[in-house]
Amino acid sequence: MRAGALVAAAGGFEANIEWLKEYWGPPAENFLIRGTPYNRGTLLRMLLDNGVQEVGDPTQCHAVAIDARAPRFDGGIITRLDCVVFGMVVNKLAERFYDEGEDFWPKRYAIWGRLVAHQPDQIAYIVFDSKSLTSFMPSLYPPIRSDTPEGLAEALGLDPQRFRATLDGFNGAIVPGGSFDHTVLDDCRTEGLTPPKSHWARPIDTAPYYAYPVRPGITFTYLGVKVTKEARMLMADGRPAANMFAAGEIMSGNVLGRGYAAGIGMTIGSVFGKTAGEGAARRARN
C-alpha cells in the first residue's frame, strides 16, 4: 500500500542515550528519561539522512529535576520535584550552585535539569526542613529524613562538616524580618551569599530535616525537522515537501530555541498536529 501523505509525530531522540552522549558526553549516562523508551529518534534520523532540513540546537532539551530514585524511563509526572523554592540545593560536594528563589517556579522549573546535569556525577539534593514538608506536591518516593543536619548529610552520602558549613552559611545570610509568601516574589532573601537566594529564603533550622536526591529528567529534545507554518517539512534545497508533514517533539526546534514555558510541549503537539493532519488529509484526497 502506498501512502498519499506522511505525518511524522514519533517524538524526539530523548530515549536514545548514545545519541544524547554525542552532545553531552558521559554525563548523559546519568540522565533519566521521563517518558517512553521508544522515542529514540529513529524516524528523525531517517528524515534528516534523506534530505530534510534540520532545525534546533542538539544540546537543548526540556529537562527538569526529578527524583534520583526514578526508573531510567517512564518515571512520568510523579517523580518530578517542585520543592526547590522551599529549601536550598547542594551538589555532592555539599555546595550550593544556583539561586533557588530566582523567579516563580513555573518560569524556572525547566532549568533545573540542565543545572543538575552540569554538577559532579549529575546529582544534587534539595534540602528543606519540617516547616516546608507539606507545602508542595511530594514525589512518589518519601524524602530522606534525619533529626540533625549532620545525620541528613550522612544519609545522603555528603561530608557532614561541609554540609553543616553550607547550611550555616545559608541560614546566616538570610536577611531578618522578611514576610514569607511563596505566591508572590517575596522579600525573604539572602545577602552576601554566592549564589544568592533571591526570594522565599527561610532558615532551614527546624527538625526533622529532609532531602530529595535529584537527577536530570529529560522530557524531550529540541533537535528536529524544519517545517513551514503549514507543518510541511522543508527539504535541503529549500523547497517544502509535497506530502510530508511533522508535528510535536520531532519538530519542536522550530518553536523552541532555548528554555521553555509551561504547556508549550502539548501546544506544539496539538497545534501542529491539527495543521499537519489537515494538510496531509487534503493532500491524500487530491
Sorted by sequence, the CB contacts under 8 Å of residue 240 that are 6+ apart come out as: 228, 230, 232, 233, 234
Pick one of 60, 132, 139, 219: the residue that binds ligand FAD (CB under 6 A). Answer: 219
Q: Give yes or no for residue 249 binding ligand FAD (CB under 6 A).
A: yes
Q: Which of residues 83 and 247 has its CB atom nearest to ligand FAD in the complex? A: 247
In the complex, minimum distance from the CB of residue 1 to ligand FAD, in angstroms, rounded to a whole number: 17
Type of residue at 127? V
Shortest separation between residue 184's beta carbon and ligand FAD, angstroms? 23
Binding flag, residue 39, ligand FAD (CB under 6 A): yes
Of 132-140, 145-153, 191-199, 264-272, the segment contacting ligand FAD by CB under 6 A is: 264-272
Interacting stretch for ligand FAD, rule CB under 6 A, among 91-99, 134-142, 171-179, 261-269?
261-269
Does the CA dihedral 64-70-73-76 come out positive or negative? negative
Determine, following the binding rule CB under 6 A, whether residue 263 of this chain makes contact with ligand FAD: yes
Task: Write down the least CB distance from residue 17 to ligand FAD, Å.
Answer: 15
Q: Note whether 160 binds ligand FAD by CB under 6 A.
A: no
Determine, following the binding rule CB under 6 A, whether residue 16 of this chain makes contact with ligand FAD: no
Size (the chain), residues: 286
- Of 62, 45, 57, 24, give the one whose Cα is nearest residue 220: 62
Candidates 22, 36, 147, 282; binder of ligand FAD (CB under 6 A) is 36
Residue 43 as a binder of ligand FAD (CB under 6 A): the answer is: yes
Rounded CA separation 217/232 (Å): 31
Could you give the dihedral angle defined by the CA atoms of residues 187, 191, 193 and 197, in that order, rounded to the nearest 10 degrees? Answer: 0
- Closest to ligand FAD by CB, 5 or 10: 10
Find all residues with CB under 8 Å of 202, minimum gap 6, and list them. Answer: 131, 132, 174, 178, 180, 188
Is residue 64 close enough to count as binding ligand FAD by CB under 6 A? no
Question: Which residue, 40 or 197, is less far from ligand FAD as judged by CB?
Answer: 40
266 is a site residue for ligand FAD (CB under 6 A): yes
Which member of 6, 19, 35, 63 binds ligand FAD (CB under 6 A)? Answer: 35
Per CB under 6 A, does 132 bind ligand FAD?
Answer: no
The residue (of 266 and 281) whose beta carbon lies closer to ligand FAD is: 266
Footprint of ligand FAD on this chain (CB under 6 A)?
9-11, 34-36, 38-39, 42-43, 76-77, 219-220, 248-250, 263-266, 269
